[in-house]
Structure 1
């Protein structure tokens, strides 16, 4: 079976605490209010380019000896200004993976589970080499600094994993991918805001209702249908209050639903892989093919997905 052999992540050096954010943007808020509503204490905003975040993460994942054996690169991102070339193509050229091909997926905050879904399927056509899956986001470049509802929530970063191909799927892989119309335009990015910027808009109440009515119930059904006994539920880090509700509604132990939103905020498509790498670095996840994990991503579309496999 295919096997995840390496993870990696990169966060930019510019740490923005809540107090620093308020001072910088002059929004009407305070540190206590932000923490109570979101669980966020700080985030990282990049001065470097979006693709630079991905290159830095990729270099932590892929050893130089593996570069010529990379067959496929799948990148999840919603924050690129460029329709083309794709981030995957730019990344392949930048790291020297000359025998690879790849493409981008824009699934917003559910982008990484979409990317892994596609990567798991396509990697089975290869009996050797590697598949690289990344989530790369520079959310700070699509935020309106005057919009308190979004500016406090998002950070920048990149993370991913490397699959060793052997013609088969990831161990015990099962998944469910879902979508519905966003009739209330709960999450949008308007490219007409100004000449060179696209600006994100989000209706928090509609997003909250979507998670409560669709994401958590289908996740519960997914776990029960597949009779999953898992070590960790690695959820998209949208809001600590939502993570706490998942814990309650699913009746799972707190240590099984890890969180890093307090320090990095919502990283959109990068949130799941950055958290996964944190667990690997802390040696809570060992990449020995023995631990069962469940991933759940949800966001704009509206789209959401659940996956489980051993890593």
Structure 2
């Protein structure tokens, strides 16, 4: 028998404030049509003043626990993917642990920007497969509105805030590609491309949080190629083909990247979970948000084969093949 990390529950949280594209027309030389045509984004959610990443993450975790039918006492570990923590330290994960009144186990953060949730899933999978933990809450949570340059129309209209969470549970399986759970992971990074997407501040440089900077066109060209490649590798490791995939659940950065990746994988858009129009780019939160919305809408069903893929600053990218 083989131990797999199986999805037991899923949940998400979006801040109450919804920002439509038209709102940016008041302060920027932009328009709803310009934003939609270049990104597919129609609206996004922004955290309220005083609303933190850990608060978003905690609510998403509670929803995932409820969906799983579990109590916090059943959980061994919390892994949070974020690039916008409440504080430099301690970790967001330990703050969530405290808010959930979890007195056992351990919690830590993973930072790989928009690829963060794929990295966190891979970490959680390793914890479960190795026997270090039986049940893990994996969260992607961001408040990217805190690091926007509101004068830069090429970036500030793209991002939003939110959180999504999965509860993973160790289950004995047959060890075949028909198993439920995480079947394979593929992680990559290349620091030579770090100038394509970065924040121009930090503890040991400016002593400030800084603002997000992005080279959009070069990043777009890297994204489609690398996302297609990593998705293919994850599926190959899992022993399944692109034609076996029920759903691509991609990082929700840009509809053109999503469409380009699906096209290169030879899969139609009706097999892609798309939420970018409503959430914008929520970085590490985008994949768990899409998983939760897709499940809530009745698209993702038990037994479906999914591949998630993401690319972010670093550059860091990767994919996970899993059966729901």
> TM exceeds 0.5?
yes
Please tell me whether residue 285 in structure 1 is matched to residue 300 in structure 2: yes
Please tell me whether residue 309 in structure 1 is matched to residue 310 in structure 2: no
Q: Secondary structure at the match of 2:314?
A: coil
Q: Assess if the C-alpha contact under 8 Å between 1:92 and 1:100 holds in 2.
A: no
Please tell me whether residue 121 in structure 1 is matched to residue 113 in structure 2: no
Q: Assess if the C-alpha contact under 8 Å between 1:89 and 1:102 holds in 2.
A: yes
Separation of aligned partners in 2, 1:118 and 1:261: 26
How many pairs does the alignment contain? Answer: 307
Please tell me whether residue 272 in structure 1 is matched to residue 287 in structure 2: yes
Deviation (angstroms), 1:181: 2.1
Please tell me whether residue 141 in structure 1 is matched to residue 141 in structure 2: no
**Deviation string, structure 1 residues 101-132 (Cα, Å, up to 9, x no partner):** 11000100000000000000112344875210
Residue number among 238, 245, 254 corresponding to 2:269 in the alignment: 254
Q: Assess if the C-alpha contact under 8 Å between 2:44 and 2:159 holds in 1.
A: yes
Residue in 2 that maps onto 1:132: 137
**Deviation string, structure 1 residues 149-173 (Cα, Å, up to 9, x no partner):** 1101000000010012347896361
Residue in 2 that maps onto 1:21: 24
Residue in 2 that maps onto 1:10: 13
Residue number among 60, 63, 68 corresponding to 2:63 in the alignment: 60
- When structure 1 is superposed on structure 2, of 106-115 and 222-231 the one drifting more is 222-231
Q: Secondary structure at the match of 2:72?
A: helix
Residue in 1 that maps onto 2:34: 33
Q: Secondary structure at the match of 2:107?
A: strand
RMSD, aligned α-carbons: 2.2
1:178-257 paired onto structure 2 within 5 Å: 178-183=188-193, 185-191=195-201, 196-220=208-232, 222-223=234-235, 226-228=239-241, 229-257=244-272
Separation of aligned partners in 2, 1:199 and 1:172: 35
Deviation (angstroms), 1:196: 4.9
Separation of aligned partners in 1, 2:43 and 2:126: 36
Residue in 1 that maps onto 2:43: 42
1:218–1:165 Cα change, 3 Å: closer
Deviation (angstroms), 1:12: 0.3
**Deviation string, structure 1 residues 119-148 (Cα, Å, up to 9, x no partner):** 001123448752100000000001111111
**Deviation string, structure 1 residues 200-234 (Cα, Å, up to 9, x no partner):** 10010121121133332443455456332111011
Q: Secondary structure at the match of 2:181?
A: coil
Q: Secondary structure at the match of 1:153?
A: coil
Q: Secondary structure at the match of 1:271?
A: helix
Separation of aligned partners in 1, 2:106 and 2:229: 37
Separation of aligned partners in 1, 2:135 and 2:259: 36
Q: Secondary structure at the match of 2:210?
A: strand
**Deviation string, structure 1 residues 70-90 (Cα, Å, up to 9, x no partner):** 101000001125221100000
1:168-183 paired onto structure 2 within 5 Å: 171=181, 173-183=183-193
Q: Assess if the C-alpha contact under 8 Å between 2:82 and 2:142 holds in 1.
A: yes
Q: Secondary structure at the match of 1:175?
A: strand
